[in-house]
Amino acid sequence: MPSPTLPVRAAEAQEEQKATGGSGLLVPDPAQWISTTSGRIAPDPYTWLQAVHWVRDAQAHTPARTHGPRFGTTTVRIAELLAQLTPCRPGVDYLVRMLKVSERTVQYHLSILRESGLLTYTLKGSRIRQAAARASVFVRTIPKAFDEAIGLRTVSSQTFIRTVVGVVSDESRLALAQLGKKAARTMRRTKRRGARKARINSSAKSSRCTPMGAGAVTSSPAAPTNNPSEGDLGNGKDQQARPEKRIRRKLNAVGRRHQLALELVRQVPWLSGSQVARIAWAVRHLADAGWTAHEVIAVLAQRAPARRVHRPVGFLTARLAGAELLYDTAAKRAAIVAWWRDSPQAAKERHAEWQSTWQAPRSFAVRRLVQDAWTRATRREPLAALDEEPTSDEQREVRTTAWRQYLTGRPELVTSALALAGRDQAEQIYGRDLVERVLRLRTTSSHLRAGTA
């Protein structure tokens, strides 16, 4: 558990800095969260880098520790990298790799940025046993001391906590312009460095995306979980980042043959279910000549296929024999494709389903299952003989329900009994009078309907 005297020490250091004439910019750990910060959210990286350069030039930061580095060049270099991350989820390993510094140095300067009010926690990472590691997520913020020192007028904002509405004096505009030049120079230098690394390593294309491998985490008395170190908190793989575009490799001769065969299997009905490798062997000469699937189908459509194709690969080979010699130019193939698209007979064949004689399964067990299913579907089980008049309350309820549905124009109970059991059994269930009414209704005009007004 963090020491409760840490905020007290920070307050003492801040008071000491004010007494010596400094600005005393030191944000204690409990105020380093987005819900408790006194700063405002930076609307863009350019504005945030202005505040970073102001803290460095004015030496506004008061460190909470007596040892370790101070706000300087390395802090600005880390800020340059953080300005590119969206969202700001820096991994310590990523910063170490980019800056060529030690892990402890990165941890020091991240804490300096938080103490200066330039970084604010949105989510604090953790390493829990038997659970997935979480990386810290930051928001780039501008401390209130920056607005007061430069002379900016701010009002409340739902998006940025506070937003700038004006500048107090011309000196404030001049100071902002000078900081803007430094921020613009920093952003140009970062872009040039990123472009140079992109030429060396293709992985630098995603340099502006946040690496999700690690989280920058230090101790805080307001932290709801254990305090992990700012080390590696993940496997370095970004699950939410935009996937890189896959570079399609140029197909060789074998690949083009299989691609053409796959298209034919999908588009030609009687080739459905055939092995792509065997189709690729049958159309190897056409694929090597640069034929497309539409050109092959146009040649096949010149003659109607047989009613029953026993061997699709052999039938295809016979139909395409010598086609690459007959249509040896692209103009000839374009003409046959145009004929295929405009021909009424070809259009009819394209829209008609492939019809073939059904063949019984080869497996005896499958044939027996099919026969049993067909027998059950066509067999009508005779119902037990019933008396003319219902003998139980349930039978009377069935007839009453059927009569009520018939009078409302819904004789489905009787019609289903006629279809499944026949007229005799339907009369035993629902009565002769109701069945005759339903049959008479079926033979009349479709404009008539059973029911009462």
Query: What average pLDDT score do residues 41-48 get?
Result: 89
Percentage of the chain modeled with pLDDT above 70: 70
Query: What average pLDDT score do residues 323-339 get?
Result: 88
Query: What average pLDDT score do residues 429-446 get?
Result: 80
Taking only the tens place, the pLDDT of each residue in 24-39 is 788 898 888 888 898 9
This model's pTM is above 0.85: no
Tell me what pLDDT residue 209 has. Answer: 44
Residue 6 has pLDDT above 50, yes or no: no
Q: Which band of pLDDT confidence, cut at 50, 70 and 90, is reported for residue 17?
A: very low
- Mean model confidence pLDDT for the chain: 76
The structure tokens 């792509």 sit at 276
Taking only the tens place, the pLDDT of each residue in 348-371 is 655 555 554 556 666 777 777 777
Do the Cβ atoms of 168 and 148 come closer than 8 Å?
Answer: no
- Residue extents of the structural domains in the chain: 6-206, 253-351, 378-453
Q: Which band of pLDDT confidence, cut at 50, 70 and 90, is reported for residue 185?
A: confident
Taking only the tens place, the pLDDT of each residue in 132-168 is 667 788 889 999 999 888 889 899 888 888 888 888 8
